[in-house]
């Protein structure tokens, strides 16, 4: 995987000024002052797909021409909708979770896809890119990073079903191939924007270690009576709907979700009152919970 990314990076950067110019135009971006700037062709493609989804003449078409005018809930399926640009907290990160589960992705690849998605919008302007296209490309890229490769056709069909529960898979027509090409181009653009830094440390391994040690620490009947472990994993999964994965260290997030799960069910750690320091500082010395 690392060798593939290095070869792609060399292709994008090229061997010289002429090579860089040709590669940048082909891959959909230019480099200005150390910041990746998308090529005009890529921006036109994203705008064309976005305008098609938001156009009244599109009928039941959803984002990128995917059939189905509304997603789950009452919001418009258009990437921006009539209300204009939305804040990052309202971005469709749920599509990444939903698509990852439907595609059979493991927990770590889904977490990587969400992290790529949020990090991309931290580096770029929200109004410049279609969040639904970025969501599909994040899933596609995360599958490569975590060695769980996915077919673009499967990603497109799952996204289509996300917006139209009763719809049929897209036909292999020009609209399908345009969407497929846009996902591949967007993947290369995201790699440049993120400077090929797409490997992340996730809280999952820390939370697993903390749960095993805490299970041996607590009373066996208290542990079996309350679903602390299930709640902690659910809280960790839901934390990827926002940008917590970018703001805090992985071990701190693991301790926080475990602490919250214990508080929800009122489970007390043995000898916590008599202890010299809180139980969570045994796992992470630099963590303070008010």
Assess whether pLDDT exceeds 70 at residue 90: no
Residues 216 and 181 in one domain: no
Q: In whole numbers, what is the pLDDT of the chain averaged over residues?
A: 73
Residues 141 and 215 in one domain: no
Q: How far apart are CA 132 and CA 49, in angstroms?
A: 10
Residues 185 and 236 in one domain: no
Residues 220 and 100 in one domain: no
- Residue 144 falls inside a structural domain: yes
Residues 79 and 31 in one domain: yes
Which is higher by pLDDT, 198 or 267? 198
| CA 120, chain centre distance (Å) | 9
Residues 221 and 168 in one domain: no
Domain end residue (candidates: 164, 193, 222): 193
Average pLDDT over residues 123-139: 89
**Overall number of domains in the chain:** 2
Residues 189 and 209 in one domain: no
Residue 81's nearest CA partner among 114, 50, 121, 48 is 50
**Phi, psi (rounded to 5 degrees) for 173:** -110, -170
257: domain CATH number is 1.10.472.10
Assess whether pLDDT exceeds 70 at residue 147: yes
pLDDT tens per residue, range 179-211:
999 999 999 999 999 999 999 999 999 999 999
- Residue 288 falls inside a structural domain: no
Average pLDDT over residues 124-130: 84
Could you give the C-alpha distances from 32 to 4, 24, 39, 71, 154, in angstroms and in order?
Answer: 24, 11, 11, 37, 35
Lowest mean pLDDT among 100-104, 124-128, 133-137: 124-128
The two tokens of residue 32 are 């200005």
Which is higher by pLDDT, 81 or 274? 274
Residues 6+ apart with CB under 8 A from 182: 45, 46, 49, 64, 133
- Residue 199 falls inside a structural domain: no
Residue 272 pLDDT class (50, 70, 90 cuts): low
Residue 164 pLDDT class (50, 70, 90 cuts): confident
Assess whether pLDDT exceeds 80 at residue 166: no
Q: How far apart are CA 140 and CA 29, in angstroms?
A: 19
Q: What is the pLDDT of residue 208?
A: 93
Residues 105 and 18 in one domain: yes
**Phi, psi (rounded to 5 degrees) for 184:** -65, -45
Residues 187 and 241 in one domain: no
Query: Over the Cα atoms of the chain, what is R_g?
Result: 22
Assess whether pLDDT exceeds 70 at residue 119: yes
| Domain residue limits at 234 | 204-283
pLDDT tens per residue, range 13-66:
444 333 434 433 334 444 444 444 444 444 454 454 455 444 444 333 444 444
Residues 159 and 238 in one domain: no
Residues 222 and 132 in one domain: no
Domain end residue (candidates: 153, 169, 193): 193
Q: How far apart are CA 279 and CA 287, in angstroms?
A: 11
Question: Which of 8-17, 240-249, 266-275 holds the top average pLDDT?
Answer: 240-249
- Residue 290 falls inside a structural domain: no
Residues 6+ apart with CB under 8 A from 276: none
Lowest mean pLDDT among 102-116, 120-134, 248-262: 120-134
* DSSP class per residue in 101-130: HHTT--HHHHHHHHHHHHHHHHHS-GGGS-
Q: What is the pLDDT of residue 175?
A: 86
- Residue 198 falls inside a structural domain: no
Domain end residue (candidates: 193, 223, 243): 193
Residues 271 and 164 in one domain: no
Assess whether pLDDT exceeds 70 at residue 116: yes
Residue 142 pLDDT class (50, 70, 90 cuts): very high
Assess whether pLDDT exceeds 70 at residue 246: yes
pTM score above 0.85 = no
Lowest mean pLDDT among 46-60, 146-160, 164-178: 46-60
- Residue 289 falls inside a structural domain: no
Residue 78's nearest CA partner among 61, 56, 53 is 53
**Phi, psi (rounded to 5 degrees) for 31:** -115, 120
- Residue 14 falls inside a structural domain: yes
Residue 283's nearest CA partner among 261, 245, 254 is 254
């Amino acid at each position: 995987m690392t060798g593939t990314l290095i070869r792609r990076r060399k292709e994008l950067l090229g061997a010289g000024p002429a090579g860089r110019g040709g590669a940048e135009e082909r891959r959909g971006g230019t480099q200005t002052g150390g910041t990746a700037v998308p090529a005009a062709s890529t921006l036109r493609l994203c705008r064309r797909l976005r305008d098609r989804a938001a156009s009244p003449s599109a009928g039941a078409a959803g984002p990128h021409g995917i059939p189905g005018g509304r997603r789950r809930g009452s919001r418009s399926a258009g990437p921006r909708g009539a209300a204009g640009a939305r804040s990052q907290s309202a971005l469709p990160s749920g599509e990444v979770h939903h698509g990852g589960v439907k595609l059979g992705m493991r927990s770590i690849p889904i977490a990587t896809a969400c992290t790529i998605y949020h990090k991309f919008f931290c580096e770029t302007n929200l109004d410049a890119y279609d969040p639904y296209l970025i969501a599909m490309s994040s899933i596609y890229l995360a599958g490569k990073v975590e060695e769980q490769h996915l077919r673009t056709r499967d990603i497109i069909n799952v996204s289509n079903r996300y917006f139209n529960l009763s719809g049929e898979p897209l036909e292999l027509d020009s609209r399908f191939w345009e969407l497929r090409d846009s996902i591949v181009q967007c993947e290369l653009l995201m790699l440049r924007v993120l400077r090929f830094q797409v490997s992340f440390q996730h809280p999952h391994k820390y939370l697993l270690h903390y749960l095993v040690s805490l299970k041996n620490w607590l009373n066996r009947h208290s542990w079996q009576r309350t679903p602390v472990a299930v709640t902690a994993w659910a809280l960790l999964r839901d934390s990827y709907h926002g940008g917590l994965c970018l703001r805090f260290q992985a071990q701190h997030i693991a301790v926080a979700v475990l602490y919250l799960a214990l508080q929800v069910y009122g489970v007390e750690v043995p000898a916590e009152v008599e202890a010299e320091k809180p139980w969570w500082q045994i796992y992470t010395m630099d963590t303070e919970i008010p």
